[in-house]
Amino acid sequence: MSTSMAQTFSQAYQPFYIAILLVCLVISSEVYGRIQRSIGRESENTAFKKIIFTYVIYIINDLLWIYILPKPGHTTFARVLEFSEAGILSVFTFLWFGFAEYYIDGFTDKMGKIKHIFYLPVIIAIINAAVFILNRVGILGVSLWPASYIYMINSPIDFFYLFFAFAHTMYKMHQEKRPNRQLHERVIMECMLYPAIGAIASLFIYYVPFIILGILPSIIKVLIEMQNAHIYTDALTGINNRYRVSEYLEREWENCSVDHPIYIYLIDINKFKSINDKYGHLVGDQALVTLAETLKKIASEGIVIGRFGGDEFILVDSLNHDPEAVKKEIRIALQEAARQKNFAFDLTISIGYAKCTNAKSKVTDIVARADDALYQDKKRTHK
């Protein structure tokens, strides 16, 4: 940058640029504070905090860069900060990618040791940034390398992480039949899109913090999504809570008829108190999670599951599946899941269901009938 251009930038744009960065810094710090108060699962909070922390470091680095840039005699330091930003941004996109993949379906975790291949691009990006910094300060190389070369490596890596997560989320959303999950995945897909748009815009207008501005709405959107999930999701099992299922029933109930009946199933674990007393509450929690995971596997379009309270779960079927087939499928799937967990006890369940064919019927009455059927099934089991 020439001296005259630097002076023009300093006088006309620097205060505005700094103001934008400070606003983003304050907002991201507030979001970090909310995450510190734990709004979701611990693993999600930890991953999201890493993203925000990296984002804050990126903003601070950018603040230093924009402050130093117009000052004569600080060209080397400004370039060092610029190259540092490139490395930090690659770390950010990697963390963003990892969070999105975990939030969608834990895809990378399912890959076992092969997942480490996704670390390779970010490692290359960090090394590339470090090499350019060493060159700029005169430690490496006999001449200064063009600054644009660093982006020939780091930018494709950044776009790789964002594009991979975006494409995978789009694929999962296309495969998903449950509307609430589709909405959940659409949010993550949009959050991949905003930073990418900001990065593309920054290629054409260099002295506006488009990347930082693109990242901020994504962070806010994820925060809102996590808060909503915390409101509607059972903290232990990760499935819908009673409130969420009740909302679903209210929406679906008006469509209930003879031709389109709604089945309500109540499911609970047999001798759950004995499991807690004999093996401890942690093992009891594992049993609850195992049942929840089993129900998630059989949940499909028209079937909504949730934790009703304690060791009791609810399943709502609005597509008229055969009740006996549903019960059989749950029991077989649970038996296999329990075998894989190698519990020291038999994990069995009782199931009761009731059918509604009239929208004028009260939800509470149908639930009460399902509860009576559950009690009868439990009596047969304990004989």
Q: Comparing 235 with 273, which gets the higher pLDDT?
A: 273
Asked if residue 93 has pLDDT above 90, the reply is yes
For residue 344, the domain's CATH number is 3.30.70.270
Average pLDDT in the chain: 86
Is residue 320 very low, low, confident or very high in pLDDT (cuts 50, 70, 90)? confident
Beta strands 349-356; 262-269: pairing state: antiparallel
Assign 38 a pLDDT band (cuts: 50, 70, 90).
Answer: low
Cβ atoms of residues 226 and 124 within 8 Å: no
Confidence of residue 3 (pLDDT cuts 50, 70, 90): very low
Residue at which a domain ends, from 202, 232, 262: 232
* Same-domain pairing of 183 and 318: no
* Averaged pLDDT, 310-319: 92
**Total domains in the fold of the chain:** 2
Whether residues 152 and 85 fall in one domain: yes
Whether the Cβ atoms of residue 126 and residue 153 lie closer than 8 Å to each other: no
Residue 199 confidence (pLDDT): 85
* Percent of the chain whose pLDDT exceeds 90: 52
Q: Read off the pLDDT of residues 103-119 as tens digits, 9 standing for 90 and up.
A: 776 655 556 677 788 99
Q: How confident is the model at residue 1 (pLDDT cuts 50, 70, 90)?
A: very low
Residue 32 lies in a domain: yes
Same-domain status, 184 and 323: no
Q: How confident is the model at residue 6 (pLDDT cuts 50, 70, 90)?
A: low
Q: Are residues 69 and 136 in the same domain?
A: yes
Residue 221 lies in a domain: yes
Residue 99 confidence (pLDDT) above 60: yes
Assigned domain for 171 exists:
yes
Apex CA 135: angle with CA 132 and CA 138, to 5°? 155
Per-residue pLDDT tens for 252-285?
A: 898 899 999 999 999 999 999 999 999 999 999 9
Same domain, 135 and 253: no
Same domain assignment for residues 213 and 269 = no
| pLDDT of the residue at 71 | 79
pLDDT of residue 212: 94
Do residues 211 and 250 share a domain? no
Answer with the one of 212, 232, 252 that is the final residue of a domain: 232
Buried residues in 198-220 as b, exposed as e (16+ CB within 10 A): bbeebeeeebbbbbbbbbbebbb
The percentage of residues in the chain with a pLDDT greater than 70, rounded to a whole number, is: 90
Whether 207 and 352 map to the same domain: the answer is no
Supply the range of the domain harboring residue 267. 242-381
Query: Which tens digits make up the pLDDT trace of 281-292?
Result: 999 999 999 999
Query: 122 and 43 in one domain?
Result: yes
86 is a domain residue: yes
| pLDDT per position as a tens digit, 178-207 | 666 677 788 888 888 898 898 888 878 777
Is residue 48 included in any domain, yes or no?
A: yes
Residues 220 and 263 reside in one and the same domain: no
The last residue of one of the domains, among 232, 250, 269, is: 232
Please check whether residues 217 and 248 belong to one and the same domain: no
Of residues 229 and 135, the one with the higher pLDDT is 135
Mean pLDDT of 140-146: 86
Q: What is the pLDDT of residues 149-174, one digit of tens each?
A: 999 999 999 999 999 989 888 888 88
Residue 257 lies in a domain: yes
CATH of residue 161's domain is 1.20.1070.10
pLDDT band for 309, please (50, 70, 90 cuts).
Answer: confident
Q: Please report whether residue 237 resides in a domain.
A: no
Structure tokens at 66: 């924009």
What confidence score (pLDDT) does residue 10 get?
A: 55
Question: Does residue 348 share a domain with residue 306?
Answer: yes
- pLDDT at position 158 is 94
Helix (H), strand (E), coil (C) string for the chain: CCHHHHHHHHHHCHHHHHHHHHHHHHHHHHHHHHHHCCCCCHHHHHHHHHHHHHHHHHHHHHHHHHHHCCCCCCHHHHHHHHHHHHHHHHHHHHHHHHHHHHHHCCHHHHCHHHHHHHHHHHHHHHHHHHHHHHHHCCCCCCCCCCCHHHHHHHHHHHHHHHHHHHHHHHHHHHHCCCHHHHHHHHHHHHHHHHHHHHHHHHHHCCCCCHHHHHHHHHHHHHHHHHHHHHHHECCCCCCECHHHHHHHHHHHHCCCCCCCCEEEEEEEECCHHHHHHHHCHHHHHHHHHHHHHHHHHHCCCCEEEEEEECCEEEEEECCCCCHHHHHHHHHHHHHHHHHHHCCCCCCCEEEEEEEECCCCCCHHHHHHHHHHHHHHHHHHHCC
Band (pLDDT 50/70/90 cuts) for residue 294 is: very high
Taking residues 310-318, report their average pLDDT. Answer: 93
